[in-house]
Amino acid sequence: MSKYNNIKSISIDSLTKEELKDAIKEWSENDEAMEKLLWALYNNGIKTNGCHAGMNPYIGIDYNKKNNDINVKLMNSMLNIKGSQLLIIPEGKNPLSGPDWYKPSITLGSDASYKDVADEQFESIIRTINNENKVQTLIDTSPILDLLDFFIEKYTTIIFRIKHNNDDSFIFSIEGIVKEESELYKYFNTCLKKLNFTLIIPKIGHRKYWEYITKDSKEMNKILKDASTLLINNYSLKIPTSVDETDLFSVKAHIMRKKLSEEEFQKWVEIEKNNK
Q: Is the dihedral of CA 81, 165, 171, 118 positive or negative?
A: negative
Those residues with Cβ within 8 angstroms of residue 31's Cβ, 6 or more apart along the chain or in another chain: 53, 54, 115, 119, 122
Residues 123-159 pLDDT 10s: 888 888 888 877 789 999 999 999 999 999 999 999 9
CA distances, 231 to each of 124, 170, 179, 241 (Å): 33, 20, 18, 22
Q: What is the rounded distance in angstroms from the CA atom of residue 84 to the CA atom of residue 82?
A: 5
Compute and round to an integer the Cα radius of gyration of the chain: 19
Q: What's the whole-number average pLDDT of the chain? A: 90
Residues 157-185 pLDDT 10s: 999 999 999 999 999 999 998 988 999 99
pLDDT at 228: 98
pLDDT at 131: 83
Residues 39-57 pLDDT 10s: 999 999 998 888 888 889 9
The reported pTM is: 0.90
| Total Cβ atoms within 10 A of residue 253 | 22
pLDDT at 18: 83
In terms of pLDDT, which residue wins out, 231 or 119? 231
Q: Is 91 helix (H, G, I), strand (E, B) or coil?
A: coil
pLDDT at 1: 42
Strand ranges for the chain from DSSP E: 48-52, 58-62, 84-89, 105-110, 159-164, 170-177, 198-200, 207-214
Q: Is the dihedral of CA 20, 26, 29, 31 positive or negative?
A: positive
Residue 24 reports pLDDT greater than 70 = yes
pLDDT at 175: 96
pLDDT band (50, 70, 90) for residue 10: low
pLDDT at 26: 87
Residue 2 reports pLDDT greater than 70 = no
Average pLDDT over residues 96-100: 82
CA distances, 169 to each of 33, 73, 227 (Å): 28, 21, 18
Domain boundaries, the chain: 12-239, 240-276
